A and B are shown apart, each in its own frame.
Chain A
Amino acid sequence: MELRDFFSEDAIELELKGTSKDDVLKELIALLKLDEKSEGMLFKMLKRRENLGSTGIGRGIAIPHCRSLVVSKLRVAFGRKREGLDFKAIDDKPVNFFFLIVAPPLEVSNQYLPVLGKIAQFSKEADVPERLLAIGSPAEFMALLEEKHV
């Protein structure tokens, strides 16, 4: 299973505009191109997960995630906000990079937790925040995943 197989260039936004946690979550959800009702449901699910503890894991990275009926297969998106945003991250520092993961409640291939683990593992690499800040296009983001063999 390769992480890059789950990303598509149209679900990558390198200039997020939101100025609050809710704004950014909505922008990330919009990248999945769902209908309005599904977007609302997904936003509520993500907020419920954030209420159990921020998914901001430090080093400027957050991985909001949940299971929801609004998707029929595992979907991921990536967003970047250069100037950072207060996401109540574990290290209390602003978050610049957002990986969104949404999986259906029942998955035959059971990819949700492995994908979460892969993104977490990718985020741990020392140069990742710096490299993510430097990328200039969705294609470069995909190339970085390929380079890191994730």
Chain B
Amino acid sequence: MANFFQQVVAGLGSGAIYASLALALVLILFDAGLNTPIQSLRKYIVPASVLATLGVVGTALLVASAAHAVGFPWTFALVLGAVVSPTDAAAVFAVLRNSGIHLKRRVGLTLEAESGLNDPMAVILTTVLTTNLLMPGTMNGWTVSAEVVVHIAVGAAFGAGIGFGGLWILKKVRLAAGGLYVALMISFALLSFGAPTVLGGSGFLSVYLSAVILGDGELPYRTGLLRVHDALAWLAQIAMFLLLGLLVSPSRMLDVALPGLILAIFVTFIARPLIAALSLFPFRYPAKDVAYIGWVGLRGAVPIVLATFVILSRASGSEKIFDLVFFIVVVNALVPGMTVRWVTRKLGLESDDPPMPRAVLEIESLQPLGETLTSFYIDEDLDLAGVSIEEIPFPESAGATLIVRGNNLIPPKPSATLAVGDHLYVFSKPEDLPFIQLMFGRPEEK
């Protein structure tokens, strides 16, 4: 059966495989960008950006040095370093979510922002360094740096342009059906990738940036749109892993087992913790936060996809790079990955944020709305337990819409009273939100 699939993959040809993987990565990055909580991340964007840029370059150089030390030529070692440099916060959050642990905001948001931002940087580095692997000696430090700058500049310009342009179009155009908005959003994603790629920029950076801008703006039919993109991203991941599985030959793994193990241990125990400590030093993060970020910088699917791009370039030694990367990612996922829960508890980084409501109330609309629906957790320190809805001095245009208490939904009649642990949904105009927050504290994250 495997042989049959491998024949199918061979029949597809490298162009089709590249297009499939690139499309999968575009859909994944677009979904990640749409869901990036830019307002919450704002505070951590600078440290995360340092980790995602200088940190990626530093990790790539350290891993390349280690790979060179175990006998690989520099051109090969640099590509390997670039490919394994990005982290994947989704892997960390998946582990934490399954074990019911909430991570402290500063650590969680820094990891999340870093992983969103570092994929484009790693893609750019890999692309440039693979060119160097194909044509050794054609690039030096300056030309690599110049290429990186051009990739970033063109990618960022297109990402920002398509993001803001997309928001403008969504504001002006009224489509007849909700499904058409999905088609329009996918066209933004594909245009964000295609246009800068043709002009020598980073399509992946452009996709991520345009999605961040679109996600931060007013989207019609928002909940539905986000749900469809979430489903597309999952579908893309499944398709991507299916293709990747077909490219792996377990028999080849034995050949790279020893250097792979050495490099995996180096990435996990030396490169990542060192880079995290250096990158976060100027921002005075507490030592345990730095230790955690250094330890749980898990590698996910992106390094494997990048290694596949290297294979498809048919550069010499590219299969070995793929095998090494696969090995490093698996070891990295197993060692720190299996300890994420334990380390979170040991370092005392569990958040005491309130639990999520068991039921979520949302407003679906094809038109951008002027009002918002916000939920608040009724904490003991708000002193609102036992207070009835009619006693709350809501602004004129605001009101309670639902109380979620455990598994029960309670209509907010005037006589209904609040209890500690409730989740209260409040409908209001945006300008009234400060006064509502004055009574109920910070809104819950969606």
Residues of chain A having any CB pair with chain B under 8 Å: 45, 48-49, 51-53, 55, 57-58, 63, 65-67, 90-91, 105, 110, 112-114, 116-118, 120-121, 124
A63→B438 contact, CB < 8 A? yes
B383 interface residue (CB < 8 Å to A): yes
The segment out of B249-257, B385-393, B408-416 that lies at the interface is: B385-393
B438→A52 contact, CB < 8 A? no
- How many A-B pairs with Cβ below 8 Å? 49
A57→B434 contact, CB < 8 A? yes
Query: Contact mask B371-389 → A, CB, 8 Å, 1/0?
Result: 0000000010111000100
B358 interface residue (CB < 8 Å to A): no
Q: How far is the CA of A48 from the CA of B379 in the complex (A)?
A: 10
> When the two chains form the complex, which single residue of B382, B392, B393, B433 contacts A49, counting CB atoms closer than 8 Å?
B382
Extra contacts, 17 of them, besides A57-B434, A57-B435 (Cβ < 8 A), are A45-B381, A48-B381, A49-B381, A49-B441, A51-B381, A52-B381, A53-B441, A57-B438, A63-B438, A90-B433, A105-B383, A110-B391, A113-B393, A113-B439, A116-B438, A120-B438, A121-B393
* Whole-angstrom distance between the Cβ of B364 and the nearest chain A Cβ: 27
Q: How far is the CA of A67 from the CA of B434 in the complex (A)?
A: 20
Could you write out 14 A-B pairs with CB less than 8 Å apart? A49-B381, A51-B381, A52-B382, A53-B437, A53-B442, A57-B434, A57-B435, A66-B381, A113-B439, A116-B439, A118-B393, A120-B395, A120-B435, A124-B435
Using A66-B383, A105-B383, A120-B435 as known contacts, say yes or no to A52 and B441 having CB atoms under 8 A apart.
Answer: yes
For residue A120, which residues in chain B have a CB less than 8 angstroms away from its CB?
393, 395, 435, 438
List CB contacts (< 8 Å) of B422-446 with chain A. 433-435, 437-439, 441-442
Residue of A nearest to B396 (CB): A121
B435→A113 contact, CB < 8 A? no
Residues of chain B having any CB pair with chain A under 8 Å: 379, 381-383, 387, 391-393, 395, 433-435, 437-439, 441-442
A90→B434 contact, CB < 8 A? yes
> When the two chains form the complex, which single residue of A53, A67, A114 contacts B393, counting CB atoms closer than 8 Å?
A114
B393→A116 contact, CB < 8 A? yes
Most buried by A among B381, B382, B391, B395: B381
For residue A66, which residues in chain B have a CB less than 8 angstroms away from its CB?
381, 383
Using A52-B382, A52-B442, A67-B383 as known contacts, say yes or no to A113 and B391 having CB atoms under 8 A apart.
Answer: yes
